A and B are shown apart, each in its own frame.
Chain A
């Protein structure tokens, strides 16, 4: 199977940051990383490392945990768990930092609200 049909890894090798792709033709930066541009179909893309910090763009929570879309400083939006579960603080615009969560089932995208 050609390389471009394989899923690409989400995290950098050290697990600390997220990877994305930037299309060499249309320039759109996208997540998850991809071998074919989702917007123009071009197959030459650069691997990029995404910013670690951003602001909550949308969120929700139940009694167990909170989640949200986070707009990273480089303009790409990524979905993840948001901690701590604090409905009083959680709001659109709250600054957060990527802090990947290691679980038995693998690494999960988690953002922690800045102090």
Chain B
């Protein structure tokens, strides 16, 4: 099977911009990705569009003003991991020889959603008892505090670090620095999580162009190679059967094994920090630090791009860049690609060669994460 590379990335700023609509934002992200790859629309042979709440036939509607000439557009709904799932499919098509150049995109208009946690069905017994996304993450936080001594200050430090790097990311939703005191003093959402520890409802679009090794070699491209690409689904949780590895840990192990690298080899990683505790949990799940050690990892400054450890969420992550559901997965890829090309400006991790992007999707808490994708990327 052929190797696959990312040869172009593009995204809008992530902010409140619902008036632009899905198609307006998708036009910007896709045009930027085509320009970045140095390709015309005619070079794209297949399109995969991540969507969550955009509605039926989302990709075709978003792209109707492009001259893609009737190539297949496949829409993929996989919760907050929809666009990374689209990229998994694009990779699979190229590896299978069905095409040489594919476009993956994702877009979301989320800012008009009602204030508070994302609305979920009350039909399920868990939702009826009060479960929602912040509560689920908050329970993980209390569990971590109990098991490993994670502190409220360390959770707040995740946000402080996130805003520190997001100052230098022009596409981020929140770019103002903050402090531990300000984070802990913001409104209570689900103890121990305060408002600043929750990602904002953001509008945005992101796109990635992928190509086979044959295309990369014959053209004038700046490839970032995909060394690992794995997607896993969650398994049942409410039983007396101990779950030894969660979906995130399993996906990460599989992707790193495919790439033939150790987690500590990673120079940069984007992990799914929809809430502060998310960065703690998933930094550990990827094996970047030991179990129970991620609170110390952020407190010691290891997650910043300035140290020799794996820099975490140099983009500002979902907490500061924002979380337009179906656009977040490929925004992570955008950041890793910029880092591996050495184009991340003031938030650049010096000499970055290897990066990972970890994207989660959840909607039913009876399983330990509905979907999780992990990509391992290497500089060309």
Contacts from A to B (Cβ < 8 Å):
10, 28-32, 38-39, 57-63, 65, 67-69, 74-81, 87, 92, 103, 105-106, 108-110
Q: Of A10, A32, A59, A67, which one neighbours B131 at CB under 8 angstroms? A: A67
Q: Tell me how far the C-beta of B318 lies from the nearest C-beta in chain A, rounded to whole angstroms.
A: 19
Give A10 to B190 CA distance when docked, in angstroms. Answer: 27
If the complex has contacts A60-B190, A60-B191, A61-B191, are A68 and B139 also in contact, measured as CB distance less than 8 A? yes
Q: Which 5 A-B pairs have the closest CB atoms?
A: A60-B138, A30-B239, A58-B139, A38-B236, A75-B240
Apart from A60-B135, A103-B128, list 17 A-B contacts with CB within 8 A: A28-B240, A29-B239, A30-B240, A30-B241, A32-B125, A32-B366, A58-B142, A59-B142, A60-B138, A60-B141, A60-B190, A62-B135, A62-B189, A68-B139, A76-B239, A77-B238, A80-B129
Give A58 to B126 CA distance when docked, in angstroms. Answer: 14
**Neighbouring A residues of B240 by C-beta, 8 Å:** 28-30, 74-77
Q: Is the CB of A67 within 8 A of B239?
A: no
**Neighbouring B residues of A69 by C-beta, 8 Å:** 139
Residue on B nearest A109 in the bound complex, by CB: B129
Residue on B nearest A77 in the bound complex, by CB: B238
Q: Of A38, A65, A106, which one neighbours B128 at CB under 8 angstroms? A: A106
B121 at the interface (CB under 8 A from A): no
B53 at the interface (CB under 8 A from A): no
Interface size class of B (residues with CB under 8 A): 20 to 34
Residue on A nearest B367 in the bound complex, by CB: A38
Q: Is the CB of A79 within 8 A of B131?
A: yes
B3 at the interface (CB under 8 A from A): no
**Neighbouring A residues of B141 by C-beta, 8 Å:** 60
Give A63 to B190 CA distance when docked, in angstroms. Answer: 9
**Neighbouring A residues of B135 by C-beta, 8 Å:** 60, 62, 67
If the complex has contacts A60-B138, A60-B142, are A31 and B239 also in contact, measured as CB distance less than 8 A? yes
**Neighbouring A residues of B238 by C-beta, 8 Å:** 30-32, 76-79
Residue-wise, chain B 130-141 has the 8 Å CB interface mask toward A (1 for contact) of: 110011001111
Q: Is the CB of A58 within 8 A of B239?
A: no
Give A80 to B236 CA distance when docked, in angstroms. Answer: 17
Q: Tell me how far the C-beta of A55 lies from the nearest C-beta in chain B, rounded to whole angstroms.
A: 12
Q: Is the CB of B143 within 8 A of A57?
A: yes
Residue on B nearest A21 in the bound complex, by CB: B239
Q: Tell me how far the C-beta of B163 lies from the nearest C-beta in chain A, rounded to whole angstroms.
A: 24
If the complex has contacts A59-B139, A60-B135, A62-B188, are A28 and B122 also in contact, measured as CB distance less than 8 A? no
B365 at the interface (CB under 8 A from A): yes
B146 at the interface (CB under 8 A from A): yes
Q: Tell me how far the C-beta of A35 lies from the nearest C-beta in chain B, rounded to whole angstroms.
A: 14
**Highest count of chain A CB atoms <10 Å: which of B122, B129, B134, B138:** B129
